[in-house]
Amino acid sequence: MRPVVRVAVAAALFLPVALASPPARADAPGPVIRDAAGDEHRLGMSELAALPAVRVTMPPGKGQTAPHLFEGPLLWTVLSHVGAVGGTPRELAGRAILLEGADQYRAVLAVGEIAPDFEGKQVILAERMDGTDIDPAHLRVVVPGDRRGARGVHDLTRISIVAVPDGTAR
Ligand X SMILES: Nc1nc2c(c(=O)[nH]1)N[C@H]1C(S)=C(S)[C@@H](COP(=O)(O)O)O[C@H]1N2
Q: How far is the CB of 61 from Mo ion (least distance, A)?
A: 9
105 binds ligand X (CB under 6 A): yes
* Residue 118 binds ligand X, judged by CB under 6 A: no
154 binds, among Mo ion, ligand X, none (CB under 5 to 8 A by kind): ligand X
Is 129 a residue that touches ligand X (CB under 6 A)? Answer: no
> How crowded is residue 30: how many other Cβ atoms within 10 Å of its Cβ?
23
Q: Which one of residues 28, 47, 155, 158 is an interface residue with ligand X (CB under 6 A)?
A: 155
Evaluate whether 37 touches 161 at the Cβ level (below 8 Å): no
Is 39 among the residues that bind ligand X (CB under 6 A)? no
Tell me, by CB under 6 A, how many residues bind ligand X: 10
Which window, 17-25, 28-36, 48-56, 146-154, contacts ligand X (CB under 6 A)?
Answer: 146-154
Position 136, amino acid? P
Nearer to ligand X, 73 or 101 (CB): 101
3-state SS, residue 132: strand
Which of 136/152 has CB closer to ligand X?
152
Radius of gyration of the chain (CA): 20
The vertex-87 CA angle with 82 and 93, nearest 5°, equals 110
